């Protein structure tokens, strides 16, 4: 009995219970209103995708010791470049790659500022953001047309399962990529050489250094890969979700992604759960309007931002970021 | 004697270079990169920059427009700067400014029948306090939960936008026009910061006279102290030179104001900057804020109540930003209408860093950025170049000034003496 | 292999940093199976030399030979590949990793692209058995006591087949008993063919353990000797270059009324466990109470709790009959309590600020330094200049930033500030850590002087000699408890050493 109680009180216990509770609630809603439930859940997935990708980017960078405030900028530039390549070539795969490369390049810039110039990383990220807003605003021209966007494609028989099928298994390429990346990153961080070394670099870079690990290279590479994931998040917006570009369309998602990362305790699966939660909050905004509930839409629109503040204020004290993050590495 | 003055002059130049060298270098580099971007997009950089300059300084209207744009930038810059002094990164200046602007508009149109010397100041104070209370929120969160102010202030920016959007679309909307627009009604004349009022009432001349009298009395006192200490005449002038020049500044500004070359909001901003500078350098509270920003452990050791200082600092920062919003409303817009560039306080960051995180430095920095904004429309109109190039150049300026400062800081930490110790990481 | 060829040789190594010549034409050699001590004060250049040999720095001149062959060391990798292993003074262990993860980091065992931790664990167990260094492969480093952490560090080097081992101040954080354990380990390593360099500034240990001793001073090698030829006094003189007084002259104490009474003080540490456990004691005016103990037994948290820098779980603190609130350093200042903190750069000074500002750090808000909220420049400068002269602080002026000063002078600034106001209780924590001999002597004399003027002094130090030479009464802290209190006359080195290790003899 005591073993059961300990489990229930533990963090894993609470997650498992929460998960089952959610399943039960969803099932109940589905029984009552199948269409609405499905719509809300699909919407949740759609809204959570850029968030989980952004959070994975932040997570990778921070695990190796670099705080990335510039996720917003990387998303925006990725969205823009993906869009432009789509306009120029009509080749969606190329466009997706373009958005990832853009993100990686911005990641390189952030890495350069943080590692080689030893700039304060928050300022560095802010520079990225302003640069992205400026460049995308300047080079954007209204009235361009694209060949189309990434359509959803069902994953065979899995898509036929009621509720779960259409929601999880009938999505676009980038959404599937996001699912896959969560698993990939979980394995890489905890079960590969690279992951072990990255974590060491983020916790105690000098220990890694004296064992012959190249701290600088590790940070550069992780920041660039993270950047490409953030760029992918931007690509999702213009290539799969909305289909076109708009100035400042990221609208703070990059920052919400940071809250998702913290809420998920810098772990890929944790971040996924948090992203779904936030995605749900955003999805509710449109849903409440449809349901005719008479709350001014701005109040519901504030929900994700308020939730972020609550998370950051409530969780941070108890969560544990990588110990050496934010501190430029200097040989002793 | 001669060698003394030349070496003093050389020393003066070197000090000057040390202080403004970095920002100037950053600006020049950014403008150069701007040339490259313009060339890439097929524009003519010379035309662009010429039109920009024309729009900012070409004639007296342009100049006033520049100062008008500079005014909220000074306030945002101050809001950032004071945050930096306590080690906090206040990106929420934009949100605090909006809330202040909104509050000032409300006081401006909702209250009737007050004389101008009560209504206008009331609007300003109301705006400032609203911004201050809004700014206090991230301060309280940081002090008691350790929540990183970068995230909380940015979130609050979006929340502020949502709140004000709702207010101007709902309860505070202007119902007097046929077509309903999302904006507040116009504020009453008694709440406006009109140019000529102080001049017409003759008050300005009284103030001017008072300042002149003060300078004369102060100078005589300094002269007498100097002689009493047994020093000679010529060295008095060299020692006293910089102080004297500084004191002439208010006269210069008031003169510009009288000649209609100045926007009164600008004057208020400059005064605010000076007051903030005095507070940071010469008071115990300023000392406490700076110690918290430089070494939070030593601050605790010194008996400083760190949580209180954090909250107070954010209160002051919000106060500055709110005042800036209020000045915009009562001095320029005469109502509240959303349409602020959602720069998310980035302008304030650029101004603050270009000004080397010094309250007085925000003034020239704000004039520079304001000039770019003022000239941008002309540039778009005359040379056909999208105004967003300004954002790009601004972010480049930010990059260069931050990079140079940090690089110099790392290499010459012993000599510089002023530390930038912004919080890093998510925990306290 | 010719036994006369040194296994490691350093020839004419010179290394200059901006402003300081850290290593000046250094020549040292290490014979196979030898235990060779490098002795020197702080700043003598020992750590720099070690870092050069480990490939972390490049020398400006000179060469390094392993087994008679010249080698090029550009990184830690190179050093490791030549069989050189290093155990740093400040352990390079990742606290949130396990023992195994720390040992294999950088040389991981891999299967199918993924980490093979099972095999790694097996290898660690084997290694641990072979060398007699007991460790549990799956424990987190942050849960291990310091002595065991050190074993992990040694295993790290042995895992990479180190035949030459460097130990940098290995006993700095160990209890006397753990030190003896370490010595046994070093002997057994020697038996297995490992040659060892160890750096220390502790004369007794060097004499006990080493085969040869090289003394460095100010970057140069000033002499080489053996334990047979030298004793503590000779070694001390070689290190410092002049006759050194190893004890402090003082008159017997004359304690008066109690100044500080602490009842049942308990403090929670950072890992959510009690690090100070129900401590009670009393100090009288005119006496020095020395708290001895190995670092990490709660002393830092204890002092922080008393001086308002840390939350207190429960307890009572009474100064001159008044109960003091915790968490309020200002109230203490106003009740004539002065505190010289353990970490001078963290708590004691604001490094980029001038001496003027640092000297009023605790009193800036009082008259004459401020009138209301407006600070008064002249009184602050005047006071600073007077203190600089009175305490012999070496500085070009009072307006330079504190970071310009040497460690000893920085500490003098703190001492000057704390002793320049009326003091009834002085709390000093590791007052002479990292200081040169001259500063140490000065600060010790200041502490004794203030005691003679009737102040109560609480001295906390990890240096047993400092405690023994200054204290009138001595208490020992172990695992957060005061396990014994006694008069100085009753205390012996050996007795204190056992108490510091938790052996109460009951």
Share of chain C above pLDDT 70, in %: 95
pLDDT digits (tens, 9 = 90+) for C30-57: 888 899 999 876 667 787 888 888 888 8
Q: Does C347 touch chain B (CB under 8 A)?
A: yes
Say if the Cβ atoms of A197 and C56 lie within 8 Å: no
With 60 as the cut, is the pLDDT of residue C506 above it? Answer: no
Residue A327 lies in a domain: no
Say if the Cβ atoms of C350 and B417 lie within 8 Å: no
**Mutation to test the B interface, candidates C332, C349, C375, C399, most B Cβ within 10 Å:** C375
Q: Among B229-233, B320-324, B356-360, whose mean pLDDT is lowest?
A: B229-233
Residue A166 dihedral angles phi and psi, to the nearest 5° = -60, -35
Structure tokens at B258: 């009288």
Q: Does A217 touch chain C (CB under 8 A)?
A: no
Mean pLDDT of chain C: 86
Residue A268 lies in a domain: yes
Share of chain B above pLDDT 90, in %: 26
pLDDT digits (tens, 9 = 90+) for C202-222: 777 888 889 999 988 878 888
List strands edge to edge, sheet with C20-30: C20-30, C8-17, C61-66, C69-71
Q: Does C346 touch chain B (CB under 8 A)?
A: yes
Q: Are A202 and A325 in contact (CB under 8 A)?
A: yes
**Mutation to test the C interface, candidates B291, B302, B415, most C Cβ within 10 Å:** B302
Distance (Å, rounded) from C-alpha B387 to C-alpha C278? 68
The tally of CA atoms less than 13 A away on the side-chain side of residue C400 is 17
CA distances from A305 to A48, B142, B156, B340 (A): 14, 17, 7, 20
Domain that holds residue A53: 48-315
Give C247→chain B minimum CA distance, Å.
32
Q: Residue ranges of chain A with pLDDT lower than 50?
A: none
Q: Among B237-241, C169-173, C279-283, whose mean pLDDT is lowest?
A: B237-241
Say if the Cβ atoms of C114 and A191 lie within 8 Å: yes
Residue A116 lies in a domain: yes
**Mutation to test the B interface, candidates A126, A261, A329, most B Cβ within 10 Å:** A126
Question: Would you state the pLDDT for residue B422?
Answer: 47
Question: Would you state the pLDDT for residue A234?
Answer: 94
Structure tokens at B122: 């009331």
Question: Would you state the pLDDT for residue C460?
Answer: 94
Question: Would you state the pLDDT for residue C103?
Answer: 93
Question: Would you state the pLDDT for residue A243?
Answer: 80
Confidence of residue B3 (pLDDT cuts 50, 70, 90): very low
Question: Would you state the pLDDT for residue B428?
Answer: 38
DSSP for B67-132, written as a single string: HHHHHHHHHHHHHHHHHHHTT---TTHHHHHHHHHHHHHHHHHH--S--HHHHHHHHHHHHHHHHH
Question: Would you state the pLDDT for residue B89?
Answer: 87
Q: Are C501 and C177 in contact (CB under 8 A)?
A: yes
Q: Which residue has the tokens 């990383």?
A: A121
Q: Are A239 and A150 in contact (CB under 8 A)?
A: yes
Give A22→chain B minimum CA distance, Å.
27
Residue A330 lies in a domain: no
With 50 as the cut, is the pLDDT of residue B266 above it? Answer: yes
Question: Smallest Cα–Cα separation from B275: which of B320, B328, B313?
Answer: B320
Contact list, A331 vs chain C (CB under 8 Å): 56
Give A145→chain B minimum CA distance, Å.
20
Higher-pLDDT residue of B230, C36: C36
Say if the Cβ atoms of B150 and A124 lie within 8 Å: no
DSSP for C303-337, written as a single string: HHHHTTSS--SEEEEEETTEEPPSS-HHHHHHTTE
- Mention every residue, 6+ apart, whose C-beta is less than 8 A from residue B287: C357, C364, C375
Total domains in chain A come to 1
Residue C312 dihedral angles phi and psi, to the nearest 5° = -110, 135
Distance (Å, rounded) from C-alpha C36 to C-alpha C53? 15
**Mutation to test the A interface, candidates C92, C100, C140, most A Cβ within 10 Å:** C92
Confidence of residue C266 (pLDDT cuts 50, 70, 90): very high
Confidence of residue B385 (pLDDT cuts 50, 70, 90): confident
Higher-pLDDT residue of B106, B6: B106
Residue A28 lies in a domain: no
List strand residue ranges (DSSP E) for C61-211, in order: 61-66, 69-71, 84-87, 110-111, 114-115, 164-168, 195-200
Of A207, A323, A331, the CB nearest to C92: A207
Instruction: Tell me the CATH number at A132.
Output: 1.10.3470
Structure tokens at C196: 């060892």
Question: Would you state the pLDDT for residue A269?
Answer: 92
pLDDT digits (tens, 9 = 90+) for C106-125: 888 888 888 888 999 999 99
Residue A137 lies in a domain: yes
Residue A328 lies in a domain: no
The tally of CA atoms less than 13 A away on the side-chain side of residue C84 is 29
Q: Does A216 touch chain C (CB under 8 A)?
A: no
Contact list, C97 vs chain A (CB under 8 Å): 199-200, 203
Question: Would you state the pLDDT for residue A251?
Answer: 82
Residue A38 lies in a domain: no
Higher-pLDDT residue of B259, B282: B282
Q: Among A309-313, B313-317, B401-405, C279-283, whose mean pLDDT is lowest?
A: B401-405
Size of interface A-C (CB pairs under 8 A): 65
Question: Would you state the pLDDT for residue C501?
Answer: 67
Question: Would you state the pLDDT for residue B1?
Answer: 41
pLDDT digits (tens, 9 = 90+) for C440-486: 888 898 999 999 888 999 999 988 888 888 999 999 998 888 888 89
Selected residues 283-322 of chain C with any CB under 8 Å from a CB in chain B: 307-309
pLDDT digits (tens, 9 = 90+) for C292-335: 887 778 888 999 999 999 989 999 999 998 999 998 999 999 99
Nearest-CA residue of chain A relative to C91?
Answer: A207
pLDDT digits (tens, 9 = 90+) for B231-253: 666 667 766 766 677 777 777 77
Nearest-CA residue of chain C relative to B292?
Answer: C350
Contact list, C102 vs chain A (CB under 8 Å): 207
Question: Would you state the pLDDT for residue B343?
Answer: 53
Instruction: Tell me the torsion sign for CA atoms A207, A210, A214, A216.
Output: positive
* Other C-beta atoms lying within 10 Å of the C-beta of residue C505: 7
Say if the Cβ atoms of B155 and A306 lie within 8 Å: yes
Confidence of residue B345 (pLDDT cuts 50, 70, 90): low
Distance (Å, rounded) from C-alpha C485 to C-alpha C465? 17
Chain C neighbors (3+ CB pairs < 8 Å): A, B
Of A191, A200, A332, the CB nearest to C105: A200
With 70 as the cut, is the pLDDT of residue B427 above it? Answer: no
Residues of B with CB under 8 A from a CB of C: 282-285, 287, 291, 294-295, 297-298, 300-303, 413-414, 416-419
Distance (Å, rounded) from C-alpha A12 to C-alpha A5? 12
With 80 as the cut, is the pLDDT of residue B276 above it? Answer: yes
Please report the ipTM that was assigned to this predicted complex: 0.81
């Amino acid at each position: 009995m005591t073993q059961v109680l300990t489990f229930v009180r533990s963090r894993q216990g609470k997650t498992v219970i929460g998960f089952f509770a959610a399943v039960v609630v969803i099932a109940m809603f589905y029984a009552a209103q199948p269409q609405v439930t499905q719509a809300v859940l699909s919407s949740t997935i759609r809204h959570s995708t850029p968030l989980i990708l952004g959070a994975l980017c932040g997570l990778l960078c921070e695990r190796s010791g670099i705080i990335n405030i510039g996720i917003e900028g990387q998303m925006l530039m990725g969205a823009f470049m993906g869009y432009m390549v789509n306009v120029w070539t009509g080749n969606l795969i190329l466009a997706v790659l373009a958005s990832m490369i853009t993100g990686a390049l911005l990641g390189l810039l952030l890495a350069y500022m943080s590692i080689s110039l030893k700039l304060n990383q928050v300022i560095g990220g802010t520079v990225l953001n302003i640069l992205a807003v400026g460049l995308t605003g300047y080079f954007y021209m209204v009235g361009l047309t694209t060949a189309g966007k990434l359509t959803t494609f069902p994953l065979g028989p899995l898509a036929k399962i009621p509720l779960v099928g259409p929601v999880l298994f009938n999505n676009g390429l980038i959404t599937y990529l996001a699912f896959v990346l969560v698993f990939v990153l979980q394995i890489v961080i905890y079960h590969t050489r690279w992951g072990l070394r990255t974590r060491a670099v983020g916790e105690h870079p000098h220990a890694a250094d004296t064992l012959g690990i190249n701290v600088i290279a590790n940070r550069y590479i992780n920041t660039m890969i993270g950047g490409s994931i953030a760029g992918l998040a931007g690509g999702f917006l213009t290539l799969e979700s909305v289909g076109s570009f708009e100035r400042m369309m990221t609208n703070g998602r990059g920052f919400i992604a940071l809250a998702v990362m913290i809420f998920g305790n810098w772990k890929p699966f944790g971040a996924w759960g948090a992203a779904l939660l936030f995605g749900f909050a955003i999805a509710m905004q449109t849903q409440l309007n449809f349901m005719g509930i008479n709350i001014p839409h701005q109040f519901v629109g504030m929900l994700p931002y308020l939730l972020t503040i609550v998370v950051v204020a409530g969780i941070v004290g108890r969560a544990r970021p990588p110990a050496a993050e934010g501190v430029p590495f200097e040989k002793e | 004697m001669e060698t003394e003055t030349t070496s003093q002059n050389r020393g003066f130049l070197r000090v000057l270079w040390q202080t403004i060298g970095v920002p100037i270098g950053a600006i020049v580099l950014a403008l150069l990169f701007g040339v490259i971007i313009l060339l890439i997009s097929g524009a003519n950089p010379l035309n662009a920059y010429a039109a920009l300059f024309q729009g900012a300084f070409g004639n007296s209207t342009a100049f006033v427009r520049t100062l008008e744009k500079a005014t909220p930038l000074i306030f945002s810059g101050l809001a950032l700067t004071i945050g930096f002094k306590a080690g906090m990164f206040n990106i929420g200046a934009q949100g605090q400014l909006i809330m202040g602007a909104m509050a000032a508009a409300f006081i401006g149109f909702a209250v009737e029948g007050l004389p101008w010397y009560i209504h206008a100041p009331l609007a300003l104070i109301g705006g400032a306090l609203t911004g201050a209370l809004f700014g206090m929120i991230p301060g309280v969160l940081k002090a008691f939960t350790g929540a990183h102010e970068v995230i909380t202030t940015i979130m609050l920016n979006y929340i502020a936008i949502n709140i004000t959007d709702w207010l101007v679309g709902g309860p505070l909307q202007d119902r007097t026009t046929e077509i309903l627009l999302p904006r507040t009604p116009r504020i009453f004349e008694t709440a406006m910061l009109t140019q000529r009022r102080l001049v017409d009432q003759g008050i300005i001349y009284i103030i001017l006279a008072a300042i002149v009298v003060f300078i004369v009395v102060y100078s005589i006192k300094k002269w007498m102290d100097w002689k009493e200490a047994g020093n000679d005449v010529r060295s008095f002038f060299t020692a006293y030179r910089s102080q004297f020049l500084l004191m002439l500044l208010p006269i210069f500004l008031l003169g510009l104001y009288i000649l209609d070359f100045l926007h009164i909001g600008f004057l208020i901003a400059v005064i605010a900057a000076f007051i903030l500078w005095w507070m940071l350098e010469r008071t115990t509270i300023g000392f406490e804020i700076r110690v918290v920003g430089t070494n939070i452990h030593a601050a605790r050791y010194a008996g400083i109540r760190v949580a209180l200082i954090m909250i107070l600092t954010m209160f002051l920062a919000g106060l500055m930003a709110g005042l800036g919003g209020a000045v915009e409303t009562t001095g320029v817009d005469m109502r509240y209408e959303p349409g602020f560039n959602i720069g998310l306080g980035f302008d304030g960051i650029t101004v603050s860093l270009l000004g080397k995180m010094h309250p007085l430095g925000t003034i020239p920095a704000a004039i520079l950025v304001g000039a770019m904004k003022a000239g941008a429309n002309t540039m778009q109109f005359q040379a056909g170049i999208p105004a967003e190039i300004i954002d790009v150049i601004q972010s480049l300026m930010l990059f260069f000034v931050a990079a140079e400062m940090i690089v110099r800081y790392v290499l010459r930490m012993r000599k510089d003496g002023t530390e930038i110790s912004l919080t890093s990481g998510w925990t306290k | 292999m010719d036994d006369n060829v040194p296994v490691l040789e350093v020839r004419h190594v010179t290394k200059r940093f901006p402003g300081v010549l850290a290593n000046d034409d250094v020549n040292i050699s290490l014979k196979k199976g030898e235990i060779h001590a490098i002795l020197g004060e702080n700043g003598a250049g020992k750590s720099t030399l070690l870092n050069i040999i480990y490939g972390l720095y490049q020398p400006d001149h000179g060469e390094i030979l392993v087994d008679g062959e010249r080698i090029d060391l550009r990184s830690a990798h190179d050093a490791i590949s030549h069989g050189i292993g290093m155990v740093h003074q400040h352990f390079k262990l990742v606290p949130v990793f396990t023992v195994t993860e720390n040992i294999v980091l950088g040389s991981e065992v891999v299967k199918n692209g993924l980490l093979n931790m099972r095999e790694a664990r097996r290898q660690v167990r084997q290694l641990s058995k072979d060398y007699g260094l007991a460790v549990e492969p799956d424990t987190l480093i942050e849960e291990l006591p310091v002595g065991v952490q050190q074993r992990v560090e040694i295993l790290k080097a042995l895992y990479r087949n180190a035949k030459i081992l460097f130990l940098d101040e290995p006993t700095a954080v160990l209890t006397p008993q753990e030190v003896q354990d370490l010595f046994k380990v070093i002997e057994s390593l020697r038996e297995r063919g490992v040659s060892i360099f160890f750096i220390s500034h502790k004369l007794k240990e060097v004499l006990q353990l080493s085969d040869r001793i090289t003394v460095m001073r100010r970057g140069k090698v000033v002499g080489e000797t053996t334990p047979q030829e030298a004793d503590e006094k000779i070694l001390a003189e070689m290190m410092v270059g002049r006759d050194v007084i190893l004890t402090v002259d003082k008159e017997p104490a004359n304690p008066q009324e109690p100044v500080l009474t602490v009842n049942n003080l308990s403090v929670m540490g950072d890992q959510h466990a009690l690090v100070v456990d129900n401590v009670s004691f009393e100090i009288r005016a005119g006496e020095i109470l020395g708290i001895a103990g190995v670092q990490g037994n709660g002393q830092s948290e204890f002092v922080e709790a008393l001086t308002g820098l840390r939350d207190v779980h429960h307890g009572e603190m009474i100064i001159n009959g008044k109960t003091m609130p915790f968490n309020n350093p200002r109230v203490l200042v106003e009740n004539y309590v002065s505190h010289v903190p353990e970490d001078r750069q963290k708590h004691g000074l604001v490094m980029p600020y001038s001496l003027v500002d640092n000297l009023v750090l605790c009193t800036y808000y009082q008259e004459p330094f401020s009138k209301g909220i407006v600070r008064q420049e002249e009184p602050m400068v005047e006071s600073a200049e007077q203190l600089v002269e009175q305490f012999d602080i070496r500085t070009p002026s009072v307006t330079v930033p504190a970071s310009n000063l040497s460690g000893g002078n920085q500490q003098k600034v703190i001492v000057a500030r704390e002793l320049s106001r009326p003091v009834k209780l002085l709390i000093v924590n590791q007052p002479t850590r990292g200081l040169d001999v001259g500063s140490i002597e000065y600060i010790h004399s200041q502490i004794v002087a203030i005691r003679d003027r009737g102040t109560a002094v609480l001295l906390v130090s990890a240096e047993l000699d400092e405690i023994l030479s200054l204290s009138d009464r001595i208490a020992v802290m172990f695992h957060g408890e005061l396990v014994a209190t006694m008069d100085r006359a009753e205390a012996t080195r050996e007795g204190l050493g056992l108490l510091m290790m938790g052996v109460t003899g009951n």
